[in-house]
Amino acid sequence: MRDFSNEIAAFKQNKLSEFTDARQRAALQICCGIELSHALSAEPTSTLALLKRLERAIERERLRGVNRHWSYDLNRHIALKQVRDRLKGVFPDQPGRLSLRPRRRRPKSNTAPEGAAR
């Protein structure tokens, strides 16, 4: 009986990893036109270029979500982030987020607009 439960657990884990891999492959191909197997076997310089391209795709997807665009897909967003983490496993010394430009936020003002009612 113990062997069956071990086999069941191994089967479920295998199916989950296959599902995750398929989701990542589809998201990467649709959003960036990149084949995952080529990205995983690429040399370090091209992998860094792919990571920058992937960061931009993730940022675009995030903006779609923030703006509540009809084409936003949470599963695609998650899959792209998982691919990024998977590719970053090749370079563990890289920072958590490759940013091409620093993010700037507008400072919040504590005053009401000029024509606001009091």
Q: Give domain status of residue 17, yes or no.
A: yes
- Helix, strand or coil, per DSSP, at residue 12: helix
User: Poorest-confidence range of 33-42, 60-69, 75-84?
Assistant: 33-42
Q: Which contacts qualify for 14-23: CB closer than 8 Å, 24 or more apart?
A: 20/82, 23/75, 23/79, 23/82
Closest CA relative to residue 39, chosen from 5, 29, 31: 29
Q: Give domain status of residue 2, yes or no.
A: no
How many distinct structural domains can be found in the chain?
A: 1
**Which residue range is the domain that position 22 belongs to?**
12-88
Tell me the average pLDDT of the chain. Answer: 79
Q: Give domain status of residue 6, yes or no.
A: no
Encoded amino acid at 79, one letter: A
Q: Give domain status of residue 115, yes or no.
A: no
- Is residue 71 over pLDDT 70? yes
- Is residue 103 over pLDDT 70? no
pTM of the model: 0.60
